[in-house]
């Protein structure tokens, strides 16, 4: 009996907006703003929902802004992902949808990636990929998309199906 290898022509991209941040933290800049208490509670909640769906990403790719890093580290802990499966990219912070598309097209060849970042770019990327995506992602929202591509470099507008849209207050 021989096993035939079938290359997958589908990828999953999960867009996750950073959790709620602390505007009164006294951070010197927007980039350094940390999560607030509500944000620190929302990440484990959403990680639990990801685990319930059995949809754990292979890789987390995040903005290096403090609130995104904290979201990513908490998420990785809850999903039992090692540090080697976390990537931080400066170009995700304050990114336009076009920049985020470039980031996606350069992603490593794994089946499921979560991109952790900021609005408005993240919400706009969701709409660029999938007409059914919401107009605006609230903090700690999870938007899971399935793309009919074998390689991230071929991602195109409207090429994704909505698998899941969830957020803490839902």
Query: Which residue stretches of the chain are H helix?
Result: 37-53, 66-79, 97-105, 121-129
The pLDDT tens digits along the chain (170 residues) read 444 444 568 999 999 999 999 998 888 899 999 999 999 999 999 999 999 999 999 999 999 999 999 999 999 999 999 999 999 999 999 999 999 999 999 999 999 999 999 999 999 999 999 999 999 999 999 999 999 999 999 999 998 999 999 999 99
pTM score, whole prediction = 0.94
Tokens of 125: 């990327």
Separation between Cα atoms, residue 122 and residue 92, nearest integer Å: 9
- For residues 15 and 144, give the distance between their C-alpha atoms in angstroms, rounded to a whole number: 6
Question: Which of 117, 142, 116 lies closest to 47, judged by CA?
Answer: 142
Contact 74, 40 (CB under 8 A): yes
Domains and CATH numbers, the chain: 11-166 (3.40.50.1240)
Distance of CA 153 to the CA centre of its chain: 17
Burial of 49 (0-12, 13-18, 19+ CB in 10 A): middle
């Amino acid at each position: 009996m021989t096993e035939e290898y079938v290359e997958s022509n589908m990828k999953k991209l999960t867009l996750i907006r950073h959790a709620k941040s602390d505007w009164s933290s006294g951070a010197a800049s927007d980039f350094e703003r940390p999560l607030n208490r509500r944000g620190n509670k929302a990440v484990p909640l959403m990680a639990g929902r990801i685990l319930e769906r059995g949809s754990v990403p292979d890789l987390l790719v995040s903005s290096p802004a403090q609130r995104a890093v904290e979201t990513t580290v908490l998420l990785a802990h809850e999903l039992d992902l090692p540090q080697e499966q976390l990537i931080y990219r400066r170009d995700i912070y304050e990114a336009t949808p076009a920049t985020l598309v470039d980031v996606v097209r350069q992603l490593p060849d794994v089946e499921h990636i979560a991109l952790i970042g900021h609005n408005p770019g993240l919400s706009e990327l969701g709409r660029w990929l999938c007409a059914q995506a919401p107009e605006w992602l609230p903090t700690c929202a999870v938007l899971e998309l399935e793309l009919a591509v074998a390689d991230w470099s071929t991602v195109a507008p409207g090429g994704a199906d909505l698998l899941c849209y969830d957020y803490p207050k839902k």
